[in-house]
Amino acid sequence: MGMEELEIKEQVQEVLDKLRPFLLRDGGDCELVDVEDGIVKLRLLGACGSCPSSTITLKAGIERALLEEVPGIVEVEQVF
């Protein structure tokens, strides 16, 4: 893993940490699985994992925040 990839992962983690209180409030959480070619792979945990609107949370909330704050991110993908 290159230095750049490591930096991107750290930035992604920072954004996720900022969003975490909102997820926890709803009884959920998320875990960063990997960042590969600008695609962030996330696992949704707790209530978020089984919630029908989790995909919307993922795309509208988390993806938008990551695209805005982390250069080089192109997409967020949910892994199970």
Sketch the domain layout of the chain as residue ranges: 3-78
Summarize pLDDT for 51-77 with one digit per residue, the tens. 777 777 777 889 999 999 999 999 999
Task: Evaluate the CA torsion angle 43, 47, 49, 52 in order and state its sign.
Answer: negative
Tokens matching residue 59: 């795309």
The Cα–Cα gap between 28 and 11 comes to: 21
Tell me which of 3.90.950.20, 3.40.50.720, 3.30.300.130, 1.10.3470.10 is the CATH number of domain 3-78: 3.30.300.130
The Cα–Cα gap between 14 and 66 comes to: 10
pLDDT at 61: 87
Cβ distance 42 to 62 under 8 Å?
yes
Q: What is the pTM of this model?
A: 0.85
